[in-house]
Amino acid sequence: MKTFVKFTIFTLLSVFLIGVFQACRDKDGSINIFTIQDDLDLGLQVARELENDPNVQVLDSAAYPAAYKYVYNLRDSILVHNELNYENEFTWRIRIIKDDTTLNAFCAPGGYIYFYTALIKYLESEDQLAGVMGHEMAHADLRHSTDALTSQYGLSVLFDIVFGKDKGQLLRVAAQIKLLQYSRENESESDMYSVTWLYHTAYNAKGAAGFFQKLTDQGQSSGAPQWLSTHPNPDNRVMAITKKWQTLGGKVGQTFTQRYNTFKASLP
């Protein structure tokens, strides 16, 4: 009798867990214990904390309408082909941070995108910015933050937060999102999606490779910005991006260098 009871409990628990994991599947079939609303809540909390920080200067979209129109047009060129999983569900909101010392960009869950002016000024053409934007959007669209959070906090902690509906802890976790280190697989996957998405635009689809090549040329392979991670190496990323571009057909796109220089000149 005891054996039967244990078997029954085990069976019911297994069925429950299978149901939970099935309900937590992303559109691409991967398991994700966070809901889309959780992603949006996390991203909004990151945005509030960052933009309310007195040490962070976010450029006002009303004061720099041309600059924001430029980056939103770039974003729209990626979204228009409807290749993202969550192009309609996520916010895809862009803000530019005035900071000429931080070579950085990131996209919080839910599609909250941030570019630092140091990175914008470091890049040399519009296709390079498009490549970086596609990479960051891919992290959000593929929901890589969950993978990174699991590595940092452990799955059991995240289960307690999500299924315990502890939104307070969830928001505290959000404060660490912009500091997350993505895995080698996450970084490589985002690179590949960036190439694929840009291939269907007017841009040079391997635009991000230009950035990595510049890092390599300047001897920064081992000291790349945090958002790039130290793995895979920029040299390897250039080769992987180029190979993906060739696999898609090797179509030559535009760099829009002069247009990009005009954009950079509009920034403080």
Of residues 175 and 146, more confidence is placed in 146
- Within a domain: 10: no
Cβ 196 vs Cβ 83: under 8 Å: yes
- Within a domain: 27: no
Mean pLDDT throughout 160-187?
71
93 strand-pairing partners: 112
Say whether pLDDT at 112 is over 50: yes
Sheet with 112-116, strands from edge to edge, namely 93-97, 112-116, 105-108
What is the pLDDT confidence band of residue 180, given thresholds at 50, 70 and 90? Answer: confident
Q: How far apart are CA 156 and CA 20, in angstroms?
A: 14
**pLDDT given at position 3:** 52
Q: Residue 234: which residues within 8 A CB-CB, separation 6 or more?
A: 212, 213, 215, 216, 220, 221, 224, 228
**pLDDT given at position 157:** 66
Mean pLDDT throughout 84-107?
96
Of residues 117 and 215, more confidence is placed in 117
Mean residue pLDDT of the chain comes to 83
113 strand-pairing partners: 94, 107
Q: How far apart are CA 84 and CA 30, in angstroms?
A: 15
Percent of the chain with pLDDT over 90: 57
Domain tally for the chain?
1
Of residues 141 and 178, more confidence is placed in 141
Cβ 135 vs Cβ 208: under 8 Å: yes
CA contacts within 13 A on the Cβ side of 84: 28
What is the pLDDT confidence band of residue 155, given thresholds at 50, 70 and 90? Answer: low
Of residues 232 and 9, more confidence is placed in 232
- Within a domain: 206: yes
Mean pLDDT throughout 23-36?
64
What six digits make up the tokens of 136? 């960051």
- Within a domain: 127: yes
**pLDDT given at position 183:** 84
What is the pLDDT confidence band of residue 259, given thresholds at 50, 70 and 90? Answer: very high
**pLDDT given at position 41:** 85
CA contacts within 13 A on the Cβ side of 207: 31
- Within a domain: 76: yes
- Within a domain: 205: yes
Q: What are phi and psi of 87, to 5 degrees?
A: -65, -30
pTM (global) more than 0.85: no
The pLDDT tens digits for 216-233 are 888 765 445 544 554 568
Q: State whether residue 59 is helix, strand or coil.
A: coil
- Within a domain: 56: yes
Sequential DSSP letters for 66-125: HHHHHHHHHHHHHHTT--STTTTTS--EEEEE--SS---EEEETTTEEEEEHHHHHH--S
Helix (H) or strand (E) holding 172: helix 167-174
The pLDDT tens digits for 192-215 are 999 999 999 999 999 999 988 988
Query: Given phi > 0 = left and psi -120 to 50 = alpha, else beta, which region is 80?
Result: alpha
191 strand-pairing partners: none
Residue 38: which domain range? 34-265
- Within a domain: 20: no
Say whether pLDDT at 124 is over 90: yes
Sequential DSSP letters for 185-240: HHHHHHHHHHHHHHHTSSB-TTHHHHHHHHHHHTT-TTS--GGG-SSS-HHHHHHH
Percent of the chain with pLDDT over 70: 74
Q: How far apart are CA 39 and CA 133, in angstroms?
A: 19
